[in-house]
Amino acid sequence: MSVLWSFTKLKKMEMTVDCLSKMWSVWTLQIMQNCSSLTELMVHADFLLEEGIKILKRSRTRPACIMTVQGFISNKQSQKFTELKIHLNSQGFSMETLRKPLFWI
């Protein structure tokens, strides 16, 4: 990740992670804060963990920066997975459901 700071003209970045954990949420926020040219970060995650979502809910980005996170969150009791898209900018956090719950066996 330290290499990213050297890309002074990097405007947009897209990355894929297995799951949005607390660690990955913190790292993506650090990328947005420390890479001053970055205006858009798209994160694709197979699974969205509650611990990672909680970090993003309490966060903001720099002005003119947008972070979008897309992936599935599970309801362990019903064994259903719902596809979500999280939007984070300098105004705050929002979340939308993209697909109705799916059963995962």
Residue 7, in any domain of the structure: no
Model-level pTM? 0.86
Cα distances (Å, whole numbers) of residue 22 to 13, 19, 30, 40, 104:
20, 9, 12, 20, 24
Q: Where are the alpha helices (DSSP H) in the chain?
A: 22-34, 50-57
Residue 2, in any domain of the structure: no
Residue 8, in any domain of the structure: no
- Establish how many alpha carbons lie within 13 A of residue 15's alpha carbon, considering only the half-sphere containing its beta carbon: 18
Residue 92, in any domain of the structure: yes
**For residue 2, what pLDDT is reported?**
62
**For residue 84, what pLDDT is reported?**
94
What is the residue whose two structure tokens read 């970090």? Answer: 55
Domain that holds residue 50: 13-103
Task: Measure the CA angle with vertex 31, ends 53 and 13; round to 5°.
Answer: 95
Residue 78, in any domain of the structure: yes
pLDDT in tens, the chain (105 residues): 566 666 678 899 999 999 999 999 999 999 888 888 899 999 999 999 999 999 999 999 989 899 999 999 987 666 788 899 999 999 999 999 887 665 554
Residue 6, in any domain of the structure: no
R_g of the chain, CA atoms, integer Å: 14
Residue 43, in any domain of the structure: yes
Residue 3, in any domain of the structure: no
Please state the domain count of the chain: 1
Amino acid making up residue 74: S
